[in-house]
Structure 1
Amino acid sequence: MPFLSDHHGCQGWQGEMAGRIRAFDWAVTDLGALEHWTPSLRSTVQFMLASPVPLVMLWGPVGYMIYNDAYAQFAGGRHPYLLGCPVELGWPEVADFNREIMRTCLGGGTLSFRNKELELLRNGVPEPVWLDLYYSPVAGDNQAPAGVMAIVVETTAHVISEQRRQAAEQAYRAENERVQLALNAGALLGSFVWDIKADRLSGDERFARTFCYPLHQPLDNLPSEIAERQMHPDDLPRVRELVDYSVAKGGPYNAEYRVRCADGSYRWLLACGRCEFDSAGEPLRFPGVLIDIHERKIAEEALRQLSRNLEQRVADEVQARLAAEEQLRQAQKLEAIGGLTGGVAHDFNNLLQVISGNLHLLARHEPDNANVQRRVRTAIAAVERGAKLSTQLLAFARRQPLSPAVYSLDSLYEGMEELLQRALGETIRIQVQLPEAPWCIRVDRNQLENAVLNLAINARDAMRGEGTILIRGENISLDREFCADRGIAAGDYVRLSVADTGGGMAPEVLKQAFEPFFTTKTEGQGTGLGLSMVFGFVKQSGGHIDMLSIPGEGTQVQLYFARSLEPEASDPVLPVPRSGGGQERILVVEDNEDVRNAAVELLESAGYQVLTAINGDAAMQCLMDGLEVDLIFTDVVMPGLIKSSDLALWAKSRTPPVAVLFTSGHTRDIISRNHQLSPDTHLLSKPYGPQALTSMVRSVLGS
């Protein structure tokens, strides 16, 4: 071929690829016939063919491929078909990648990739290939980029080898971590090998620490006698017996024994191993491991102890069940009494109100009749006793209306110190112990004062009118164990106790102390409802009550109230009521005609203008028709669609609001939640007298 002569610049082209390049018909490509190639193209090809590194040149805008012998080996089955082929057609699976290469390098840029992963078709099957790739532009005769020179070095074998190495390292690290976790968990206490012929031990550091070997003692030469000295003397004979059996018979060695620790205590471990023999059947070595079984042995001992106490546990469970059943019966009894009391209280107090109201009116009509006045006073005293009895029953049944607020113990005692001393008499000495900074509690102050007064009177009677009563307040924190069977949650509490030095109570009497109508006093000296009322009040307030008594030494009653973190309530500044009554207009809403008539006459005698309604429906109709009043005095429990609480809501929504005063013998939680009144709810309990009625009406109107 004349164009292959030296004057065409192809001299020095050596190797298989040089011959293929000369033989290829380049005239069918944009490069044209070989004899027309530019000097820059021929010199670049000459450089490429002489390189031992896999090189491929992508010439022209479409990247016609010209490569050397080393690249031909990389191309595999695609050689020699890649020669003179546009790169996108030669490697269609990476066409987008090569298109970006051509754009960058023909624009004057360079690119390089280290261990670039590409998926190439080899033998018709796609497989991942890793390559080191270096791309740079090749200048034409005008010094502008005319092609791209690519250095292609396959690193697949190296990458796979490195991946396998890293996987092996990760597996090794994971396995090592698992071993370390097992060791750190404390289950494995070490491993050892006993050289039977030399009678020497070797072990790891954990084994040495377990048997308290000296730090300077080499781990591959440990005297066996030290290990035996650390074993519990009671366990050593059994261990030797098991070792001898394993050496003689070749059976597995499993010995549980105790080892003395550095602090002198003993810890249980399990030694496992097996004797190995030489070809002659002689015992050669004895490898084994130590496993921590201390917790297991402790659990086993606890189980044995539990089994020994099984009968006692069964008896305790039976006793607990009986106690729970007794508590359930008490709760059911309390609920029954509460339902009965609540149902009776309303009607009973209405009757007492009719009697009381008419007695007071009779006394006013006959002011100069001494006989009438004497009999009225006796009858009113009986009414008051009946009202107290009803109140005590409601308190025990936890259905009395409460008006709780936040108080501290010192402020509570200040308000009742004089009352206590006057009620108990001069022969009783009251000793009070309160903390320097008493916590606050949320209670109904009047009911708490009544409870303390009840307890103090009981204490006085127990001491036969002479002695010292100790009233103590304490800030305490109760744990779950204490609160478990007391129906309260663990936390901070205030404990208020009243103690006497009287004769105390026998256990059988103490069990019945809180039951209604139970009393040890003689007939006529007590109703047996005092302690029941205190019990009901404390429980209704979310607290707990305990009674401790020792015959011959005295009794102590402890009241527990949960600590309140709210600010202490300030005493309300009430307006000073005017003497007598007033000129305001009052709407009396009462379904009981006798009660209504008595209330109307008492209010009218105090100067008020009084209107009436037989129930909530009639009252609301009057108000909606434009009736203007200054106060609604309404019973709580009435028939009809409109409840007393509905009247109160209507009154609060007026501008200005209309004052509301409730009255009832039993509220049935209509105006309260859990029988606890909100601060803006005013209640006058039945039966009431003229003074209580007018004072309360004046106070509500004034506020």
Structure 2
Amino acid sequence: MISSERALILTDGDGAQTSQLLENAGWTAETFTHVDPLVEQLHKGAGVALLADETLHGDNLRPLFEWVANQPSWSDFPFIVLTRRDEGIPAGLDNGLETRLGNVIFLERPFHPQALSNVVGNALRGRRRQYEARRYLDDLREGEQSLQTALLAGRMGSWELDITEQVLHGSEQFKACYGRAADERLLYADLIAAIAPPDAQRVQRALHDSISTGADLVIEYRVIWPNGQEHWLDSRARVLPDRYGRPETLVGVVSDITARRNAEAEREKLMLALATERERTQQALRGERALSGLLLTSVPAGIVAYDSDFRVTIWNPVMERIFGLPSPAVLGRPLTDVFSREQGDIIEPRLRDALAGVSGPIEEIELTTLAAGQVMLESQHAPLRGGDGQIVGGAAFFRDITDRHRAEEQLRHAQKMETIGQLTGGVAHDFNNLLAAVQGNLELLRKRLPDDPQIRRFIDGALQGAQRGASLTARLLAFARRQELTPEPTDLAQLLEGMRGLMERSLGTIVTIRYDLAPDLPPARVDPNQLELAILNLAVNARDAMPEGGELTISLNQMDGSDSRLGLSGPFLRLGVADTGSGMDAETLKSAIEPFFSTKELGKGTGLGLSMVHGLAVQLDGALKLISAPGEGTTAELWLPVSTSPVTEVSEMPPERTDAPASTILVVDDDALINMNTVDMVEDLGHTALEAYSGKQALEILGSGQQVDMLITDYAMPGMTGVELAGKARELRPDLPILLATGYADLPSGTSTDLPRLAKPYQQTDLATQIARLLAQRE
């Protein structure tokens, strides 16, 4: 047991038993009959002190009080006072002894050994935490001292700027960098005023950019000292945000680099002089020899030099890597022969411009090379002159920008998809509102017309059209990633088995379906209903790609997300749908998931199938990967995240009630057509409907005292949303049932509500079910 965890016992002579009990529990204990040796051991380190109440009388405890009062700030030493049950708290404690000792625990004697062990154990654990705090403070103090030492050694001053208050704090070395004494006041305004006029605007712009973007500040500038001297400073800083992420403080260091800048200036003068002298001594050298002395293997660009006949004289290692041609195979050959005819036609005009003395701009060209296939290169051509100033050839620089070009293309594609997604999401919301009115009125019309088979067929056809419209909006929202999903742990193998009959009926007898499902797979976290639609969509696409019949293979296995090359990580289930159809070329594959893109003839498809599947996969934190080539079929891979929870068995729920007692229902919607349709459906269900066309009008009705048993409100209304209306309505009538009807598949970002929702368009049975449920909850 280390000394810092010893138990010290102060007693009048009978502490042997207590000491033995502590040692039996595994602790080291030392017994004292006088306070002085106990205090001496406290100075050496201990974990707890046990004081018998008979020792707490008189003035002999003064050394102990002094030790307690002088203990470090991190220390709150624990004392256990052993009292007798019949005597109560010692008189000394009544006179302020408890306050002077501080951390005191009372234990009545006689005590059980376990009670003593528990009390001492708790005290020692608290003491250990105090020692840990001391080590943390020591480490922090040592780190601060090391930082200050490093700053002083590097002659760097530290500074801190409160961005909001514009209050500046700086070290002595910081002030010295601006020519100020240690005790001299230096305000932020003084710092700005000290910047040399040629650099003032540049420094101000750098400070503004760093604060607004969060980028590190790294800048060199000149300042004018009070004595008129000009000094160069190197300032580096970083923005620290507050707890809301807003820029709060700029913290940095500054150093005086005047000596370094002066040395660099002198070195530049010397280098210029040397370069001038070297130029005079090498005028007789030809241009290609002068250039070859500058070409290093570390240059990160392809460099080629050629003479007036286009014959290659220099072909550096980067050119070898880009084009897959070694230098011996190229030197001496005309540069136009190195490339293909088409590529030579692209490059030759630039070569001729160089020989004519024209330095061309940086251009982007696309070439096919032996090493990398299709690559995108940045190129620039310039003339080479000999010692007499005459043009003796040219030079060309090539830099591989394939990765950058591909990343820019992906970014543009992502931005285009996001823009289309926002547009389709808004269109789907408005379309849902229109479909709600159409579908609701058709349902009411079917109830009121005579039982004429032809009329019923017309109405059923119109209802089917409205339902197909609703299906189209669902696909639009899926592409826009705005449909409301209910992800849950799902056994994908069981889901696929459950779809077997549906797949066979949907694909027909000319397509053979084969399943390749790995055993003992974990569940995936998906929305099973939406996933079934996505799988069926992929299967139907595969069927259409095999008009003469073929084989469809559905596979399922577990993979590491990093193997997908889709930016995923962690465990995923890969669900593949592969066909033996015609396949797609690279151009078609590139556009396959774009909305409204379709290779089918007019009227055979919406072009939203793959867009919907892609949107669903991304919204589930997964991805869609398409693999295809002409004549080799197509494989669609859905990468779906593995669930961390097991599949839960769901018991069958009893059917929802749709009947409810006649009630008064307030219907709120700013669209008169939809409001009228909802009112008609409510009244057709046997209820009394009140109409309101804004949140303000609805609140007036609720505040009038008129009977209202339930509120049905749209979400998107000018002036006050349905969620805001619900909050104010609950202030007037806390128990009022409220139903939110919305054309959004999911409410806009930032909207939080626990209100039950009814998605537009809805059927009258859906409305009746929600009304019955909410009114039943109120009873």
Greater Rg over alpha carbons, structure: 1
Relative contact order, CA 8 A, sep 6+: which one is greater?
Answer: 1
TM-score by structure 2 length?
0.45
